[in-house]
Chain A
């Protein structure tokens, strides 16, 4: 069975909910002013804020997504970690102190500090909303992936449950409760990740004791073109050679009422050898089928084992405890069973087939799993550059990160808290490397849900660790989502209602409007979490980074550092960055797959829009600013 419920896990989950709601209610009395609600009064200690930054940033995308990506594709997942951390350097060197100096509650405050323009505030608030909502999607998808197996409830109920909890957190005491929840979460994440990584190293690497044996079939092509199988009752369609499955390297084999794509392992002189796969396809009634049955039928099986284990120059069954370096060295010299996938369209729609492929460890430490850089294709190269550009530019433009600078009392405190964040986040990403490769080799990998790699890895050490990891991953989502909701509610209540529409509100009314906005954003996040179920959360986060980097960063940096910047230039830059990044995402190959079409049909070849949208936004700002410069 892939997932089983644990009372301990459910107990910890409920305890976390009680803890965060209790904390929020306890702090609600302190939140009577807009400063208290949106910026926790601006008096948070830099050390607490630094760890809260860690908690805010290490979202589901990092804790679940990065390790999950390393577990399924290897080194390419690690490249995300490098990009994510690098973004903090831009935030520290260029943004932290000026932002603290110029703003009050929101990203818009700092952007508008020199211009005092209603139009600018409106577009910046819209950009904050769009970026926050895009970043909310991977968090809510991650929470669905976690809560569903943990509580044994359907995905949509899990997402709704968490959406309601997080909305309560934000709608009660705003940034105050959010800060302390993120602080607790930051510490828990680092401790739990360290414990799991230590457990992986202590166990070392081992060959599977009861390996999954994949079924095999043999078939011979007859003179009339039909296939004769060695197993009675098996058949293929008459036009099997014309089917998209065959072109992709598979054969759909029918047995009784059921059918499945089998991998063509070899074919020689009309003799075919086929191997069992795992596959995801849509049924006629619209349901997703996992290995030909609904998810609750538990037909999926866990994989991820070494095919050959080479330790200190010889093949072994188990290594015993390893240091981090010996662990990586052993993976490098061994051979692992990976499960890559191919997608094709047949008469029922899109079919995603996962098949076993033994891969030398050395190959897992070079690009290829996600970024086919070795293929020499310029599309792949540009897509990679685009993603890495989005990651380094995105962090310093994420509204929910930027507003945390208003919670500390001074610019020096903003700087010090960023350094704490860089240390904590860097430490976590180093550990992710062990977690990812540990999950890849631990025999507990669900090929169709890379987001569950770390919780399932923890389960291989016992249900207690699984329960703790899922509960902590749950707080990871809570902390980040509450940060995002407060950023978005600030954009609605402070930027739009107060400063754009000019609604006259006293302090209490401003806080109430912030709370109402939080409820609205919470409802939107629930809806999006259900719609985007199943996508890798790090991948989705890459889009949020691209949006932030395109829409916000050029405007913010130029407003801070280029004296010729005009309000018209900033407005045009934010709009062009936002619209172009959104449009290119909608036309990207990955979105075409979501539409049920083939990726090759997408009009824009790159999955990440940053390489086009960021320069476009920058050039727009320069051109418009130069044209709208007031006469000297």
Chain B
């Protein structure tokens, strides 16, 4: 195996590791969101200063999606710089 293809494989593996870890974190958050509706169905209807917990949780999950996407990009970019010949 050439040095370049070994480096490409290592880069792919490194990014894959980050992706798998981050998707796991997100899956847990999503599962908590879904299961809280299943087991505590009146929870989303309760309010915090007139805004329902359900909307707050849903919007928070959306914001977390964007934040994690940006974080993933920053981490991948850093690794790509490290692997750049």
Contacts and interface: CB of A to CB of B under 8 A. Distances in A.
B62 A430 contact: yes
27 contacts: A81-B58, A85-B65, A88-B69, A89-B68, A93-B18, A93-B19, A93-B23, A93-B26, A93-B72, A94-B23, A325-B50, A329-B51, A332-B50, A332-B52, A362-B52, A365-B45, A366-B42, A374-B42, A384-B38, A412-B77, A415-B73, A419-B69, A419-B73, A423-B66, A429-B62, A430-B62, A561-B16
A330 B52 CA distance: 11
Contact of A416 (B33, B51, B73): B73
B65 A430 contact: no
Interface in A390-417: 392, 412, 415-416
B20 A93 contact: yes
Interface string B15-28: 11011101100110
A593 interface: no
A423 B15 CA distance: 21
Contacts of B27: 392
A47 to B, nearest CB: 14
Contacts of A366: 41-45, 52, 54
A90 B23 contact: yes
A546 B68 CA distance: 25
Given A365-B54, A418-B69, A97 B62 contact: no
A70 to B, nearest CB: 11
Nearest to A372: B41
Given A367-B54, A385-B38, A429-B62, 9 more contacts: A82-B61, A92-B69, A93-B18, A93-B19, A366-B52, A385-B35, A415-B73, A433-B55, A561-B20
A388 B23 CA distance: 16
Interface in A178-224: none
B27 to A, nearest CB: 8
Interface in B36-85: 37-38, 41-45, 47, 49-52, 54-55, 58-59, 61-63, 65-66, 68-70, 72-73, 76-77, 80
Interface in A356-382: 362-363, 365-368, 371, 373-374, 381
Given A86-B26, A412-B80, A419-B70, A78 B58 contact: yes
Contacts of B43: 366
B10 interface: no
Interface of A: 75, 78-79, 81-82, 85-86, 88-90, 92-94, 97-98, 101, 325, 328-330, 332-333, 362-363, 365-368, 371, 373-374, 381, 384-385, 388, 392, 412, 415-416, 418-419, 422-423, 426, 429-430, 433, 561
Contacts, number: 130
Contacts of B51: 325, 328-329, 332
A482 B52 CA distance: 38
A541 B19 CA distance: 27
A415 B15 CA distance: 11
Residue among B22, B58, B69 facing the most chain A CB atoms (10 A cut-off): B69
Nearest to B57: A82
B26 A89 contact: yes
Contact of A329 (B49, B65, B73): B49
A75 B30 contact: no
B38 A373 contact: yes
A381 B58 contact: no
A86 B59 CA distance: 12
A90 B69 CA distance: 10
Contacts of B66: 422-423, 426
Residue among B15, B23, B44, B45 facing the most chain A CB atoms (10 A cut-off): B45
A368 B35 CA distance: 15
A422 B69 contact: yes
A215 B38 CA distance: 39
Contacts of B12: 97-98, 101
A422 B37 contact: no
A365 B52 contact: yes
Given A79-B37, A90-B23, A381-B38, A365 B62 contact: no
Nearest to B45: A366
Contacts of B61: 82, 86
Nearest to A376: B41
A204 to B, nearest CB: 15
Contact of B34 (A89, A332, A385, A418): A385
A426 B65 contact: yes
Nearest to B30: A86
Contacts of B19: 92-94
A465 B47 CA distance: 34
A374 B44 CA distance: 11
A362 B47 contact: yes
A373 B41 contact: yes
A365 B54 CA distance: 7
Contacts of A367: 37, 41, 44, 54
Contact of A75 (B16, B52, B68): B52
A86 B32 CA distance: 13
Nearest to A426: B62
Contacts of B26: 86, 89, 93
B70 A363 contact: no
A373 B23 contact: no
Contacts of B33: 82
A79 B61 CA distance: 11
Contacts of A90: 23
Contacts of A392: 27, 30
A81 B22 CA distance: 21
B48 to A, nearest CB: 10
Contacts of A81: 58, 62
A385 B49 CA distance: 29
B69 A89 contact: yes
A430 B59 CA distance: 7
A89 B72 CA distance: 10
Contacts of A384: 34, 37-38
